[in-house]
Amino acid sequence: MAVVRSFKAQATDLTSSDIADLVSSAVSKAGGLDFVKDGQTVVLKPNLVTFYEDDGEHTASDMVNGVSTDWRVVKAVADLVRAKDPTGKILVMEGSTFMTADVYPVLGYTPDHFGSSVDELVGLEGKACDDTSTSGLEQRTARSGKMYWLNSRYLAADVVIAIPTMATNAWTGIGGAVESLGIGATPAGQYGDGTNSIDCTRTKIDRADTDVRGGFIRDYYELRPADFVVMDGLQGLEHGPLPAWDDSGTYDYGSSTKNMRLVLAGRDAVAVDAIQAAIMKCDPARVPSLTKLEADGIGTTDQARIDVVGERVADVQKPFAGKQTDICPGK
């Protein structure tokens, strides 16, 4: 896998061209996208937690906000995919905590920005967050024996590329590709409370116990794993998925951003997340979803077994604080 960093001093200084160069370099160093073939359907799965930068008072910037994937990173990935797949379908698919169709334009996910690189911007919740119908969904049995609902188009994609953000997470310890697909790809009507047409929070996913949560993510992720990961580490966010979750009562977005100027890429999502954890000085061996996947033979958290090209982890590390302090102590 690859870790690349911009020479510019601030993440907010990065231009679209800078980001495209970072993404292209990271993807190339990680082995490239030759596995993508013309005529395939490719899903790009960003992490658009919300259109806020905090607990709901301030709208986030559509670029390098640290909370949600910068649209320019997704555009850069889409351009690389389109070069391999000129006649296929490229879909951006996401399930935000609000109606994704409303979140997309606020965060810059518009047809004007993506042009012919993307065929469709799809909200995984469908027409409403409280739609409990199973139209367009399929049920699958996970390794644990539990049954889960998945979006049919997402499940049928020839290729899924996860494009998450670099952040700690109040419930899972770290964010990343596995968490983004293991929670953010769930249909809100089946995993939310089903009482509000615009609130897509997945309240039915048990957040009370880290191990139970990790089991859910492991189950769901394995039903449709990522084929490749490109991680937006441009800004980086501690106290994620929003600074509102740092328990300090200050909700300080500004001091929670980390100015990392990084892009990570790789074929093994567990390994990419493990290196993300190491960069944030978190312990991937304490992240249940990752260790459960590793035990299943899907990926590794062992840094000694992960070939990192580009930047050395030790040269780009910064401590990220998180609510799960046993995973991310912040020092």
Rounded mean pLDDT of the chain? 95
Mean pLDDT over residues 37-42, rounded?
Answer: 98
Mean pLDDT over residues 234-243, rounded?
Answer: 93
Q: Output the pLDDT for position 246.
A: 54
Strand partners, 147: 141
Reported as a single tens digit per residue, the pLDDT across 209-231 is 778 899 999 999 999 999 999 99
- The SS3 of residue 260 is coil
Gap between the Cα atoms of 146 and 163, Å rounded: 27
Three-state SS sequence of 195-257:
CCCCECCCCCCCCCCHHHHHHHHHHHHHHCCCCEEEEEEEEEECCCCCHHHCCCCCCCHHHHE
Please report, for the chain, the start and end positions of each structural domain, with discontinuous segments joined by +.
Answer: 2-316
Mean pLDDT over residues 232-243, rounded?
Answer: 94
Q: Output the pLDDT for position 194.
A: 83
- Residue 248 — pLDDT band, cuts 50, 70, 90? low
% of the chain at pLDDT higher than 90: 89
Cis peptide before 241 (omega within 30 of 0): yes
Reported as a single tens digit per residue, the pLDDT across 113-171 is 999 999 999 999 988 999 999 999 999 999 999 999 999 999 999 999 999 999 999 88
Reported as a single tens digit per residue, the pLDDT across 56-102 is 889 999 999 999 999 999 999 999 999 999 999 999 999 999 999 99
Reported as a single tens digit per residue, the pLDDT across 266-298 is 999 999 999 999 999 999 999 999 999 999 999
2-316 classified as CATH 3.40.50.11440: yes
